[in-house]
Structure 1
């Protein structure tokens, strides 16, 4: 068998991720706050870029990139040329200066309003407990043991430590350990320092010395699983108490905090949302504004234009040309982001017009594919354009993803969004007789009667998403 080696040339086309395309995709995904941070970083590294201040807004407009094509981001082929590389930056800069005017760099303003400056520093659970320990009567070794215990209380307020470890470390008796721990368990928030859920709830009940609190403590001690499953009759039978009394005790337990430390959790801090898009109604028509409040427009510093004119072939000229190219690509990507978000939101408003006119009950089913076809882009572009971004309208502030709803068909063939169905389910549950709560089957039948064809399994799914317990757990006695 004879083997030959040949050299063949094959011409193919393939998609490549250029640096410009990669930057455009990244910028499209940023929300307004992230975009502001990104722009600040670019301003630090590219002296050619200029940020327009409020005072300059009336004197000099922001320079936009060369004409941005109507189509949002599309991949480029390997054989395609990059027009930006062939731009005569000297002419571009001169044109910018003539049309837009020059301006002085503004990196920050002393009088710029910042909501963040009004946010208080949140006290940690450890700091809160350590302060109370300082105010306690514990001294010497007892104080050291208590401090060690506090250091091992987790974010939910539970003691994450084995008893044997404490006894061995400090060479103390179990009685002394329990005595010191009992002091910590009197600290605020009540229930802190518990070793399990039952102990946590019982500590909170110790604040009340009435008969109902004692009954509730007994239920926690011996019938916690029955309580979790709302088996009130089993508890009443075991304790030989009236159903009404057991129901009241169980209601009291449900008011207790199973995770006393979460009030201090950093994860649960209030989130402040800055809308990326604002929609207002003016003379019967909806006006869409892609917010620039947190990401002001950029333009080119006129100072570097003059350097480019005077230094024709110097190293400075080459450096400035590169920075000009980078700046123009950035400005183009930001403008492209604005255009893409505008078109996507415009399409959403067209589809969800009844929502904006009448409210959340009138949301329609909508997919990324639907909007992509309307705008003429890929689904992934729509996904990036709405990811992590918020919209403000007369009904409130919503995550833009909220407007993309799955759903079912009505008897008339119209689509009904999952959000609308959930609202109906919640209204039905709110109106039910607590002693005879609606089963999922009954909820399904109620929905079918108003023309919403839905299965019992889907009803159960939506009920779970609303954090509504099953009918057996909602029943009251």
Structure 2
């Protein structure tokens, strides 16, 4: 048998981002607050980078007092730790306050305690494990309900413990060992396991769904300043947009003639940062102006916002849609003495068929459906088609599964 070896060259293009391009994208995406932190860290370690705010040319330098400008936009929100610290100090029964304060500081952003009693004892060897558990239980009686839980099950049970009634007791049993069955909508199985009616099971599930699985999320992680990126104002019936910070007062010292590689590395890092900030600000100003022009009636005449997609703004700016998405992430502008997130200017419109917005539509349709006659994927596809969204049943199923929404048969109520 003869073998033929075919040797041919195949040319293809593959775009690979350089380190500098990736760094520029990272700088574009982060918030003004995070960028300031990045700048401060680089200033501390890089002798070639210096900051002199007299060199700043952004809007912030036009104010008489920068500090007073910032004070106008301070967002002081109580953190979960601060909320619990107050309750600990006002607790009028026996409590190890030092241990309680420490535990409240160790909770994650959702209010959960992700440390075992043994791990906490390493910090407080003067106490025993029973005292640690007692302290945790006391914190769990505080507000918000469900705080300091070690699991979702415990979080729900803590909240249910503040209630009374037959349905509450059934809900406790479900939360204690049957949450997976709830997710799968196994109503009949739950009724047999707990020895009650399907109607009672459904009421208990409805009660569980009314609870807060993340009791700490409503609190601020930090009490921090807002750092707006843009300043918008109307003058002579025209919209004007300025960067709050243009140069951040940064400048790079000249590189002396040297073969010392570390010096060259410092110099490259400093120039890369300044260059990335310049590119970030150019893109931010371009996208900001496109938004202002697209929504000019809102700015000039205080009308409602027009439906707008990131793709529309990307086409205006002649950039990729992902660039606009990065540019508006965690960014805000000052207009009429209000700090407005840039994402506010992108209300959903029927012409915008991005994946995220399609998923939001599907979620909204399911949320409003009749629980006794839930919508099938085919029906959702038809309903979206009536809104000029041509989405196949298979794609609906894929998006639904991605959002962890069960099928119509598992969503159907049986009581």
Q: TM-score range by the shorter chain?
A: 0.5 to 0.7
d(CA) in 2 for partners of 1:239, 1:381: 53
Q: Are the equivalent residues in 2 in contact too, given 1:51–1:296 (CA < 8 A)?
A: yes
* Aligned counterpart for 2:241 among listed residues 278, 283, 290: 290
* Aligned counterpart for 2:372 among listed residues 435, 443, 468: 435
Q: Are the equivalent residues in 1 in contact too, given 2:112–2:148 (CA < 8 A)?
A: yes
* Aligned counterpart for 1:260 among listed residues 196, 215, 224: 215
1:444–1:280 Cα change, 3 Å? farther
* 1:113 paired to 2:69: yes
Task: Report 1:88-237 matches (<5 A).
Answer: 109=65, 112-115=68-71, 118-120=74-76, 122-125=78-81, 128-129=84-85, 132=88, 135-138=91-94, 154-155=108-109, 156-158=111-113, 160-162=115-117, 169=125, 179=134, 181-237=136-192
> Match of 1:260, SS?
coil
* 1:475 paired to 2:412: yes
Unaligned stretches of 5+ in structure 1? Answer: 1-16, 58-105, 300-329, 408-413
> Match of 1:225, SS?
helix
> Match of 1:290, SS?
strand
d(CA) in 2 for partners of 1:241, 1:361: 50
d(CA) in 2 for partners of 1:52, 1:366: 28
1:35–1:126 Cα change, 3 Å? closer
1:337–1:451 Cα change, 3 Å? closer
For residue 393 of structure 2, what is the aligned residue in structure 1? 456
> Match of 1:433, SS?
coil
What is the RMSD computed on CA atoms of the aligned residues? Answer: 5.9
The alpha carbon displacement at 1:217 in A equals 1.0
* 1:399 paired to 2:343: yes
For residue 52 of structure 2, what is the aligned residue in structure 1? 45
* 1:91-121 C-alpha deviation (Å, 9 max, x unpaired): xxxxxxxxxxxxxxx9x62883334675436
Q: Which has the larger radius of gyration?
A: 1
d(CA) in 1 for partners of 2:74, 2:326: 32
Q: Are the equivalent residues in 2 in contact too, given 1:153–1:193 (CA < 8 A)?
A: yes
> Match of 1:289, SS?
strand
d(CA) in 1 for partners of 2:286, 2:136: 61
For residue 274 of structure 1, what is the aligned residue in structure 2? 228
More displaced stretch, 377-386 vs 129-138:
377-386
User: What's the TM-score, normalizing by structure 1?
Assistant: 0.52
> Match of 1:233, SS?
helix
Unaligned stretches of 5+ in structure 2? Answer: 1-17, 44-48, 250-273
1:239–1:444 Cα change, 3 Å? same
Q: Are the equivalent residues in 2 in contact too, given 1:348–1:371 (CA < 8 A)?
A: no
The alpha carbon displacement at 1:161 in A equals 1.3
For residue 327 of structure 1, what is the aligned residue in structure 2? none
